Structure 1
Amino acid sequence: MTTTEVPSDLAAFAGFLRERLAVLSGEFARPSDAADRAPGDDRIAAVEELREGHEEEIRWVRRFQAALYEAGIAWPSGPVVHGGLGLTPAHDAVLDDLLSELGFPSREALFVGLRIVAPALLHHAAPALRDEVLPALYRAQIVGCQLFSEPGAGSDLAGVTTRAVRDGDDWVVSGQKVWTSMAHLADVGEALVRTHPEASKHGGLTMLLIDMHAPGVTVRPIRQMTGGAAFNEVFLDEVRVPDARRIGGLGEGWRVAGTSLGSERSTMGGAAGPLTPYVMERVVGLVRRLGAEADAVHRPQIARAVAAVAAMRAVANLSPGSWSHRLEPVSGSVLKMLMSQAADEIARLAQDVLGEGAFVDLGEADAYAWSEFVLGVPALHIAGGTDEIQRNVIAQRGLGLPRVSAPRAT
């Protein structure tokens, strides 16, 4: 397929995708009322959870991603040389919307590799590393994870202490990472490490691509209050990483991390994020089934949820040229904040409408199905950078406001 055969107009591109997805629908698409769910499972989650017996589900998703790649539509915005179509992120969003609308499996397990690790490789890695890893990620031959946060470095990400010491052509990495989504499935991990402890806090960091199956890598799931374990802690005990697996230059890890985080935040507000079309369809169905829109008590909360989602979608649909030159670099932070606020409003609405049925299985439609979503929403205020960090990014980098020093103790 050549790029001249692919329409750039978004509406025409959607039609182009529908034709190609029709070929895959018989094998992969589910009925619309079960989109993104395993058969017989009506649960709704803000963050996909690790569940017992998930292995076949993951294999199925990986087969589906491979089929998308072979059909030439897995990465609309990606370079043609790596199997992409050379289009724009807006075309990626069209694909995400259609996959959800047509009942194809959720690619949540691949999110970190495709939307966080891949952009860092694309923009910063040496050609040989890009050529090797990017097609493998988009074929789902490998799964990626993000080794950023640490027990003592979450919001203050530049404070990471995981050390990488040079030994010939290798780096020897030791430290601990935490809150690592999909580490239990991952083959490679994008790791922010400290290579120059004598340098400045931000300048001493470098990004490495670690083999998650290498000796010295230990992954332990973190059980959440939802009952699942989507996050993990990862221990790195003298793990050897070839310098050829470095992403970007020495001391440029902070800049590489910015690329990954910007992509993550931007994507979280779209159909590939937590508020999928499936979630929106379910909440609308819930409100209508219970007649909540006719209840004066529920109407204000419905209005708040509708307004929050409308704001998120309006910003997500803005073209890059619609932003001022100062706000363009922080657009991902703006969208991430709007997404987490919209998720809050939807969670409150589900609780208001269902009452105890939000947390107790009453044997009725939608009863208990929303419990994981409600309990998982707080994590969205942390994932991709806490709300406080996002506000600082928007204020300082976008609006040009001065950094405010912490008050001195008297």
Structure 2
Amino acid sequence: MTSTAVPTDLTAFGDHLRGRLSEIAADFVTHGIAAGRVESAGSAEDRIAAVEELRAGHDDQVATMRRLQAALYDAGLAWPSGPVEFGGLGLGFGHDTVLDMVLDDLGFPSREALFVGLNIVAPALVAHAPEPLRTEVVTGLYRGDLIGCQLFSEPGAGSDLAGVSTRAVRDGDHWVLTGQKVWTSMGHLADVGEALVRTDPDAPKHAGLTMFLVDMHAPGVSVRPIRQMTGGAAFNEVFLDGVRVPDTHRIGGLGEGWKVAATSLGNERGTMSGAAGPLTPYVMERIVGLVRRLGAEADPLHRPQIARTVAAVTAMRAAAGLSPDSWSHRLEPVAGSVLKMLMAEAADEIARLASSVLGDAAFIDNGDPDSFAWSEFVLGVPALHLAGGTDEIQYNVIAQRGLGLPRP
């Protein structure tokens, strides 16, 4: 399918998707039952997640995600913003968000395990990887044959990403990688990992980095889960102990790792504000339903928080709906950081509203509808201020690269 086969207007595109998705809905629509989401509010299984975490029985969930992604790819709908030559539609990022929203609204299962590969690894491969690596892996990611992860952060290099110390030493036609990565989302499920490593310890820290694509099943790769206060373990630490990577799996030029990382991070920050993030139509329906069920809109104690929540969500949706040419020339390069900050702030306000309205019932299952259901969302929201770069990093990016302000 080509980009001319579908409408570019976002509303019309959503209507088009609903018609097309009906062709594959029978095999996948779950009538509201998906990872992290159940029909009966108030049950012990009811939970609303800010960061989706695959739990017991996730093998079946992952298999379903892969099958859904393959069906979307075969229908020409897996990657609306992607280049046509890779099975995309050549449209804007907003069309990816519309796809996520329509899938969620129609009751299709979550594709959360595929998020990093689809939105972070694949764009870097398209922009920087050599052939045939680019075509082979990008196609695999967008068909759901491969799950990707991001091997960036380290115990000593989180927000200061250019300070990574994982080493890659040349050995003939291969590189030998040794080091530790941390906070690797979906690392326990991944088939490939985009690894930022240091190839020249004598060069300035930004200039001595190179990006590689690592086989996560290769000898020397160890993945250990990190248990979070939500009870889940979506993040992992990854150890690379003499992992051999062929030079043909180098993404970009030698010493150009920082440029490749910038491509991935820009896509991550922008896509985190879309429906692939925590503020799905389901979450919005639940928070609106909670407020109305408890009559909180009539309570003067809750009205200010309701107003702040509505304002934050409205601002995020307005910014996410902008087309690329709607941003000023100066701000367009930092649009991802702006969207990411607006998303995190909106999630904060929703968490505060749920906690305020429910009180103790937000964390205690007393049998009432919505009791305990919001606990995982509230506990998971702080992670959104770290993922994709901390708030402080985003403010610096916006100030310096977008507004042209001097460094402090």
Question: Shorter-chain TM-score: which interval?
Answer: over 0.9
TM-score, with normalisation over the residues of structure 2?
Answer: 0.96
Q: For the structure 1 residues 342 and 102, does the alpha-carbon distance in structure 2 shift closer, same or farther, using more than 3 Å as the test?
A: same
Cα distance in 1 for partners of 2:289, 2:38 equals 19
Paired residue secondary structure (2:306): helix
Q: How far does the alpha carbon of each residue in 1:49-108 deviate from its partner, in whole angstroms, 9 at most, with x for none?
A: 131221111111111111111111111121222111222222222211211111111111
Superposition map of 1:23-172 within 5 A: 23-32=23-32, 37=37, 41-172=45-176
Letter in 2 for 1:14: G
Shift, 1:38, TM fit? 5.6
Q: For the structure 1 residues 2 and 275, does the alpha-carbon distance in structure 2 shift closer, same or farther, using more than 3 Å as the test?
A: closer
CA RMSD of aligned residues (A): 1.4
Superposition map of 1:246-257 within 5 A: 246-257=250-261
Q: Is the 8 A contact 1:219 1:235 kept in 2?
A: yes
Q: How far does the alpha carbon of each residue in 1:181-208 deviate from its partner, in whole angstroms, 9 at most, with x for none?
A: 0000000000000011111110000000
Letter in 2 for 1:335: L
Which of 268, 272, 278 aligns to 2:272? It is 268
Superposition map of 1:211-290 within 5 A: 211-290=215-294
Cα distance in 1 for partners of 2:324, 2:78 equals 22
Letter in 2 for 1:88: G
Letter in 2 for 1:378: P
Letter in 1 for 2:28: F
Q: Which has the higher contact order (CA 8 A, sep 6+)?
A: 2
Cα distance in 2 for partners of 1:120, 1:195 equals 19
Farther off after superposition, 17-26 or 148-157 = 17-26
Which of 306, 323, 327 aligns to 1:323? It is 327
Q: For the structure 1 residues 374 and 36, does the alpha-carbon distance in structure 2 shift closer, same or farther, using more than 3 Å as the test?
A: closer
Are 1:209 and 2:217 counterparts?
A: no
Are 1:14 and 2:14 counterparts?
A: yes
Structure 2 regions of 5+ residues with no counterpart? none
Q: Is the 8 A contact 2:33 2:109 kept in 1?
A: no
Which of 361, 371, 378 aligns to 2:375? It is 371
Q: Is the 8 A contact 1:36 1:100 kept in 2?
A: no
Q: Is the 8 A contact 1:180 1:234 kept in 2?
A: yes
Paired residue secondary structure (2:24): helix
Are 1:314 and 2:305 counterparts?
A: no
Cα distance in 2 for partners of 1:330, 1:3 equals 26
Aligned length: 404
Question: Paired residue for 1:181?
Answer: 185
Farther off after superposition, 163-172 or 120-129 = 120-129
Q: How far does the alpha carbon of each residue in 1:362-383 deviate from its partner, in whole angstroms, 9 at most, with x for none?
A: 1111100000000011111100
Letter in 2 for 1:6: V
Letter in 1 for 2:294: L
Are 1:389 and 2:388 counterparts?
A: no
Cα distance in 2 for partners of 1:97, 1:177 equals 32
Cα distance in 1 for partners of 2:269, 2:76 equals 26
TM-score, with normalisation over the residues of structure 1?
Answer: 0.96
